[in-house]
Amino acid sequence: MLNNASRKKIEDNQILIFGIGYVGLATGLSLSEKNEVHFFDVDEKKINVINAGRSPISEIELSNRIKECSVNIKASTFSKAVILNADYIFLALPTNFDITLNNFDTSIIETVLKQIDDCRPSATIVLKSTVPIGFTSKMQKKYPYLRLVFVPEFLREGISMSDTINPSRLVVGSFDKKNDHLINLLLSVSLNHPPVYLCSSAEAEAIKIFSNTYLASRVAIFNEIDSFCLQNDLDAKSVINGISADPRIGNMYKNPSFGYGGYCLPKDTLQAMASINSAEFSVINSIHESNKNRINILAKEILKKAPKIVGIYKPVMKAGSDNLRESTSIALGKKLSSEGLEVVIYEPIIYESEHEGMRVISELSEFTINCDLILANRIIDPLFEEKILFTRDIYHVE
């Protein structure tokens, strides 16, 4: 762990960010207060929105920050000239898990690395995308003149800006002593003086993947406790309160849900399983199966109530987010549809009349009147009578 006593004020760098998702946008905006930041993306709609001084992602802190720092921000598609002038190039590109490959799909990152190497083989590249363990080292061997550093992110949807400037820790995957300037650059935008951990790139990749695997396992075990309470007529809140009172267990990530979803936990858990590739790691291998089983258990409980029309209320994965990816509310709705129930959705960010084979109702009053059971992964608003609401949210928090 690096001592933070050597922090310096770092500013006036030319920063290039590939990718305008949660990670890329939050990283770029955090750095834009003291540095010039240029975003690259293939999505011209996102580019135009950023150049107009607005956030392409629905998150209040991102929207506020981009208004404050828009003078230092530009966005465009690929530009060789910008790459030639950049002090640091950050890659925050998607790496979806490919079931066929049984691995993260790193093809977008590999394409961009080739483009950078073709025009500036001496560039310093900071990988923020979650990648397979050993990927950075593999790419370093392929492009020996590039300087590759893996610096994982640990962001939560809905508060990605806050987590970027108040990080729990800074992990830097490289033993190259030339990274002092980069470390100080990243520390210069943090408000909470985080500890710094220096390790190999493979160790940093493992820290990222297994951090999310642990969080997924914690969600899974509290959901299984809640499932047991449901099936045995026990008060889940009473049981979980008693368990989490032990300081070794604690209060974080204990609120039952329909399961874990979103951008990171599902794909990172699958990558952890692919990385170990052995039945000997039984705990890690069981997490994904537990999450799938949660949907089946909840579907059985809902079917016992014999509803005619089931409504899914705001299936976004996080309050303040516009992310529907791997939504467990949607997964539960699809399971109920397969059992013959009519399922409808109320979600203001969905503008189509249908989503995942389920009808979307745009008016809340119509949605409420039509449904005789409403599913809510989290009780964001006290809108429904308890008799028509099905949720496992016992603490009313994210």
pLDDT of residue 322: 66
The class that CATH gives domain 4-199 is alpha beta
What's the predicted TM-score (pTM) here?
A: 0.91
CA 380 from centroid of its chain's CA atoms: 20
Please list the residues that pair with 40 across neighbouring strands: 18, 76
Instruction: Report the percentage of the chain scoring pLDDT > 70.
Output: 94
List the domain boundaries for the chain.
4-199, 209-390
The class that CATH gives domain 209-390 is alpha beta
First to last CA, the chain: 31
- For 104, residues 6+ apart whose C-beta sits below 8 A from its C-beta are 95, 96, 97, 98, 130, 131, 132, 135, 267, 271
Q: For strands 354-355 and 358-360, give the pairing.
A: antiparallel
CA 55 from centroid of its chain's CA atoms: 17
Active site annotation includes 264: yes
* Domain 4-199 shares a fold with domain 209-390: yes
Is pLDDT above 80 for 100? yes
Which uninterrupted H or E stretch holds 389? Answer: strand 389-390
320: region left, alpha or beta (phi > 0 left; psi from -120 to 50 alpha): left
Residue that is written with structure tokens 């992310």 in the block = 323
The type of residue at 269 is T
Please list the residues that pair with 2 across neighbouring strands: 196
Query: In which band, very low, low, confident or very high, does the pLDDT at 9 lie, cut at 50, 70 and 90?
Result: low
Query: In which band, very low, low, confident or very high, does the pLDDT at 398 lie, cut at 50, 70 and 90?
Result: low
Task: Find the catalytic residue in 69, 229, 264, 371.
Answer: 264
